[in-house]
Amino acid sequence: MRAAEDAAFARGIEVEALMDQAGAGIARAVQQFFPRPGSCIVYAGKGHNGGDALVAAEHLQRAGWQIDVRLPFPEDQCSELTQKKLAALRDSESGKGLCAPTIAVPPIILDGLLGIGTKSLLREPIRATAREINKLRLERNAFVFAVDLPTGFSDTGEIDPDSVVADFTVTIGFAKHSLITDAALDFVGRIEVVPLADLSTEGSGNEILATASSLATLLPRRKFGAYKNQFGRIGVVAGSKGFIGAAMLTAGGALRAGAGLVELFVPDDIYEIAAVAAPPEVMVKSTRGYRDLADEKMDVWAVGPGLGKAHAARIRDLIARAEQPMVVDADGLNILAEEIDVLKRCRGPRLLTPHPGEMERIFPSGKMSRAGIARNFCEQFAVTLLLKGSRTIVAQKNLPLSYSSTGNPGMATGGMGDVLTGVCAGLIAHGLSLYDAARLGAWLCGRAAEICVFEKDASEESLLPHDVLDNLGVTLKHLRSADSGA
C-alpha cells in the first residue's frame, strides 16, 4: 500500500486527493449497511487515518447524520491535513438542517485512530480510547466501522489485547493480508474495500478478496432472445426421511440462481411428500436406490443435502462416474469421507462445499490454518473447494486463494449451506467455472443475508435460509449496480 501511494505521489497525485476519495468511499460503505441517517461518533487520530474518517463524517453529515467528533490528542497535535478536514467538517455543520436526522439506536462509530504503519503495542491515550470504543460497542450496542485497519492491528498481523473490535473494516485500496488471517476474524468483521481511482495496486496474486466490483462481470445480462435450455438442466440428488427441507432449499437455490430446469431425484419412500412440498417449478422424480443416475442427461449435478448414508456406495459411484460438473455437499461429503480417494477417479469436475466439521472428516489436518487446509487439499485432489465459514475460502490448484467478503453471523443456522449448494449449481449451469461459481455463490448468499438484516429489518437471530432465497434477486441487482459504477 505504501509503495502504491508513493507511485501515485510520484505521478503528481496529491495526498488530499486520495484522502477525499477514501473518505467518500468510507461514507458510502456506512450508508450501504445503514441507509437511514443516524448518529455517528468519530474517533480521529493525528494522522491521515483520522483525516479519512473526518472526510467520511463530512459526507455523512451532509446526508443528515448527527456527528460527534472525539479526539484523543489536542487538535494542534494533528497533522496539517487532518486539521484542515476537521475545519471542513465544522464548516459543513450549517448544512445539517437540509435533512433532519433520524437518530439511530444504536450509534455508528468510525475508528480512525491508527492505520497502516503501526508496529508496536498501543500507547496512551490511544489504548484508553480503544477501550472506550469497545465499551460503547458492548454497552450501547454500537456498530464499529474501522478505517483501513482496526486500531491495535499491526502490518504483521499482531493484535494488541485492547485492539478495537470492529463489526466492519472499510479498507482502502485493497484488503491487507493481516485482515484475512484466522486470528483477525472476530476483530475485523465484515470487510469492505474502497478502491481508489488514482491508486494502482497489484498484489502477489496468491490471495484475493471477492468483492462486488471484481465479481460483477461474471454474470452478464441475458440476451432478449434467451430460452431455458441455455441456462442448464440441474439434477438435485437430496433429501431423505426427515430431511426433505434440505432438498427444497437446494432446488430453490438453483432456481433463484437462474437455472433453466431443475429436476429433484428422491427415494421412493418420500416421493409423494417431496412432490407436494417442492416449488411448482421443480420436477420431482422418484429413484430406486439411485441406480443409473449417472446416465441422466443433466448439465450440472447437486448432490448431498439431507441425503443420509443409506445408499453410500451408489452415491460414491455417481460422484465418480458422472461426467458433468457436480457440487457435493453435506451427506455427499460424509459419504466421501469413508473413501476419499474416489475424488482421484472422478470423470468430471467437482466442487466440494464443506463446513469446518465436514472438512475435518474428509481431510483431518489438526491445527493447520484454514488457508493451509484449503491449499493442501487442492494440491492432493484435483477439485475446487469452497470451505465455508465466517470468511469463506475458495481454492483450486494454480489459482489464487479467494476469500468471500460478505455475510453475517445470522447465517449460522441449518439450511444455509443447502441454499448455497443450489446457487453454485445454478451458476455453473450458466457456464461459469466451478471456481468462479463458488466465489460468486458465496458472495451472493452472504450479501442477501446482509440485505435481510440491514435493509429489511430482520435480525441475525431471526434470519432464515428462505430469507436468503427471497433476497437473491435484489442481491443480483446490487451486483450489477457495482458493475455499472453506481
pLDDT for the residue numbered 205 = 66
Strand pairing report for 300-303 and 233-237: parallel
pLDDT 10s digits, 352-392:
999 999 999 999 988 899 999 999 999 999 999 999 999 99
Angle at 326 between CA 323 and CA 328, to 5 degrees: 135
Is residue 99's pLDDT more than 60?
no
CATH of the domain at 175: 3.40.50.10260
Per-residue confidence band for 155, with pLDDT thresholds at 50, 70 and 90: confident
Asked whether residue 118 carries a pLDDT value surpassing 90, the answer given is no
Note whether 171 and 228 are same-domain residues. no
Average pLDDT over residues 295-300: 95
**Stretch 10-23: mean pLDDT:** 87
Q: Rounded CA gap, 112 and 246, in Å? A: 44
> What are residue 300's DSSP bridge partners?
234
> What nine digits make up the cell of 322?
458422472
Indicate the Cα dihedral angle 100, 105, 111, 112, nearest 10°. Answer: 10
* CA gap 97, 65 in Å, rounded: 10
Q: What is the pLDDT of residues 415-440, one digit of tens each?
A: 999 999 999 999 999 999 999 999 99
Distance CA 109, CA 134 (A): 10
435 & 398 share domain: yes
Residue 97 maps to a domain = yes
* Arithmetic mean of pLDDT over the chain: 92
More confident residue, 169 or 106: 169
CB neighbours of 420 closer than 8 A, spacing ≥ 6? 253, 329, 353, 386, 388, 441, 442, 445
On whether both 198 and 230 belong to a single domain, the answer is no
- The residue out of 203, 233, 262 marking a domain boundary is 203
Q: Which domain holds residue 176?
A: 2-203
Q: Please, are residues 428 and 376 in contact by the beta-carbon 8 Å criterion?
A: no
pTM: 0.92
pLDDT at 265 over 90: yes
Q: Are residues 369 and 437 in the same domain?
A: yes
Structural domain includes residue 212:
no
- Strand-pair category, 39-44 with 66-70: parallel
Which residues neighbour 153 within 8 Å (Cβ) at sequence distance 6 or greater?
Answer: 118, 159, 160, 163, 178, 179, 184, 187
Determine the pLDDT at residue 261. Answer: 97
> Are the C-beta atoms of 263 and 243 separated by less than 8 Å?
no
- Looking at the structure, tell me whether residues 233 and 102 fall in a common domain: no
Among candidates 29, 56, 12, 47, which has minimal Cα distance to 198?
12
Q: Is residue 486 pLDDT above 50, yes or no?
A: no
> DSSP string of 347-403?
SS-EEE---HHHHHHHS--TT--HHHHHHHHHHHSSSEEEE-STT-EEE-TTS-EEE
Helix, strand and coil percent figures for the chain, each rounded to 5: 45, 15, 40
Q: Are 52 and 20 spatial neighbours (Cβ–Cβ below 8 Å)?
A: no
- Express each pLDDT in 331-346 by its tens digit: 999 999 999 999 999 9
Same domain (yes/no): 182, 323: no
Name the band, by pLDDT with cuts 50, 70 and 90, for residue 156.
confident
The H or E element containing residue 33 is: helix 15-33
User: What integer pLDDT is reported at residue 448 of this predicted model?
Assistant: 97
Q: Assess whether 405 and 273 both reside in one domain.
A: yes
User: In sequence order, what DSSP letters do the residues of 63-84 get, joined into one string?
Assistant: TT-EEEEE-SS-GGGS-HHHHH
Mark whether 123 and 258 lie in a shared domain.
Answer: no
Residue 327 sits in the same domain as residue 438: yes
Tell me the percentage of the chain whose pLDDT exceeds 70: 95
> Cα–Cα distance between 342 and 166 in angstroms, integer?
43
Bond preceding residue 106 cis, omega within 30 of 0: yes
In this structure, are residues 307 and 327 in contact, taking their beta carbons and an 8 Å threshold?
no
pLDDT of 203 above 70:
no
Is the pLDDT at 104 greater than 90, yes or no?
no
Q: What is the mean pLDDT of residues 16-44?
A: 94
Q: Are residues 167 and 246 in the same domain?
A: no
Rounded (5°) CA angle 476-479-483:
135
Which CATH number is 338's domain given? 3.40.1190.20
Assess contact for 243 and 270: CB atoms under 8 A.
no
Q: Give the count of domains, the chain.
A: 2
